[in-house]
Amino acid sequence: MNLLLIETSPNGEASASREVSRYLVQQLEHEISQVTKRDLSVDPLPHITGDVVEAAFTASEKRSDRHRELLQQSDAVVDEVIAADVVIISTPMWNFSLPSVLKAWLDHLSRAGRTFSYSSSGPVGLLDAKKKVYFIISSGSRFSSGPFAAWDLATPFLKAVFGFMGVPSVEVIRVEGTNHQIGRDSAVQAAKDQIDQLFSKERITA
């Protein structure tokens, strides 16, 4: 099984989302044959430019060497996701949404003709619907319920993007209330407990 891990937090070893993503990888270790990692806080992708859009919408047989060069990074992102059986996206929530480095990665991933297409009946996702996708989302406040729930723009956006590309079901693991309410360590432990429960259920149903 191939696993792709996308991490975005700039906080290094102090990151709550990174600690939980490492724990999740450990639970999958016995099934993993290859792990590919992208640390977007260290090696961010460039934002999409007009030239990249032109290259992407030029028919492949008509692309120039310049077009192909412009699409190299996007092609690499798409190839990694297509090759992965499991995708883990580990990210903090910033200002109710996603860090711009993750949004840039998603923009490179969303490619007409590669990860989605349009038909007479509407858009069609081209990713394998059986691909397992986990979102690990850390936040200073609690967004799963309560007064801040309506302000969570990150989770529905991620679900919408992957649903559009053909993956209708994802697992959301929240590391929430790290700044107050329950505190970082308790938030991390609650997320690890959620992972334990998730894999316990999978073993029972298997």
Q: CA-CA distance, 129 to 133, in Å (whole number)?
A: 10
Number of separate domains in the chain:
1
Q: What is the pLDDT of residue 84?
A: 98
Q: What is the pLDDT of residue 200?
A: 86
Q: Phi and psi at residue 128, in whole multiples of 5°?
A: -65, 120
Q: What is the pLDDT of residue 202?
A: 64
Domain interval for residue 153? 2-205
H helical segments located in the chain: 16-28, 50-56, 65-70, 72-83, 100-109, 154-164, 184-205
The CA distances from residue 6 to 18, 89, 145, 202, in Å, are 10, 5, 26, 23
Q: What is the pLDDT of residue 205?
A: 52
Look up the CATH number of the domain holding residue 57.
Answer: 3.40.50.360
Q: CA-CA distance, 190 to 195, in Å (whole number)?
A: 9
Total-model pTM: 0.94
Along the 206 residues of the chain, how does pLDDT read in single tens digits? 999 999 999 999 899 999 999 999 999 999 999 999 999 999 999 999 999 999 999 999 999 999 999 999 999 999 999 999 999 999 999 999 999 999 999 999 999 999 999 999 899 999 999 999 999 999 999 999 999 999 999 999 999 999 999 999 999 999 999 987 689 999 999 999 999 999 886 654 54
Q: CA-CA distance, 184 to 102, in Å (whole number)?
A: 22
Residue located via tokens 């302000």: 151
- CA count, 13 A, side-chain hemisphere, 44: 13
**Using an 8 Å Cβ cutoff, are 71 and 56 in contact?**
yes
Q: What is the pLDDT of residue 203?
A: 56
